[in-house]
Amino acid sequence: MRFIDQLRAAQAQNQSLLCVGLDPLPSRFPAGAARDSEGTFAFCRTIVEATADLVCAFKPQIAYFAAQRAEGQLERLIAHIHAVAPQVPVILDAKRGDIGSTAEQYAREAFDRYGADALTLSPFMGFDSIEPYLKYPDKGLFLLCRTSNPGGDDLQNQRLVVAGQPRLYEHLAELAATTWNRNDQLGLVVGATYPQEIARVRALAPQLPLLIPGVGAQGGDAEATVRAGCPHKDSGAIVVNSSRAVLYAGSGADFAAAARAAAQATRDRLNAARAPV
- Please give the positions annotated as active site: 95
User: Is-contact 58 20, C-beta < 8 A?
Assistant: yes
Binding mask 1-40 vs a copy of itself (x if CB under 8 A, - otherwise)? ----------------------x-x---------------
In whole angstroms, the minimum distance from the beta carbon of 103 to a copy of itself comes to: 8
In whole angstroms, the minimum distance from the beta carbon of 171 to a copy of itself comes to: 7
Q: Contact between 133 and a copy of itself (CB under 8 A)?
A: no
Q: Contact between 175 and a copy of itself (CB under 8 A)?
A: yes
Residue of 129, 185, 241, 266 that binds a copy of itself (CB under 8 A): 129
The residue among 218 and 264 lying less far from a copy of itself, judged by its C-beta, is 218
Q: Read off φ and ψ for residue 177, nearest 5 degrees.
A: -85, -15
Residue of 36, 49, 53, 71 that binds a copy of itself (CB under 8 A): 71
CA dist 276 and 90 (Å) reads: 27
Q: Contact between 149 and a copy of itself (CB under 8 A)?
A: yes
**Which range binds a copy of itself by CB under 8 A, 1-9, 107-115, 233-241, 262-270?**
107-115
Q: Contact between 220 and a copy of itself (CB under 8 A)?
A: no
Q: Read off φ and ψ for residue 247, nearest 5 degrees.
A: -55, -40
The residue among 86 and 126 lying less far from a copy of itself, judged by its C-beta, is 126
Q: Read off φ and ψ for residue 123, nearest 5 degrees.
A: -90, 10
Q: Contact between 182 and a copy of itself (CB under 8 A)?
A: no
User: Is-contact 98 128, C-beta < 8 A?
Assistant: no
CA dist 256 and 277 (Å) reads: 32
**Residue 60 in 3-state DSSP?**
strand
Q: How many CB atoms lie within 10 A of CB 207?
A: 14
3-state SS, 215-274, equals ECCCCECHHHHHHHHCCCCCCCCEEEEECHHHHCCCCCCCHHHHHHHHHHHHHHHHHHHC
The residue among 179 and 276 lying less far from a copy of itself, judged by its C-beta, is 179
Longest CA pairwise span in the chain (Å): 59
Binding stretches for a copy of itself (CB under 8 A): 23, 25, 61, 63-64, 66-67, 69, 71, 95-103, 105-106, 108-109, 112-113, 122-131, 144, 147, 149-156, 158-162, 165, 168, 171-172, 175
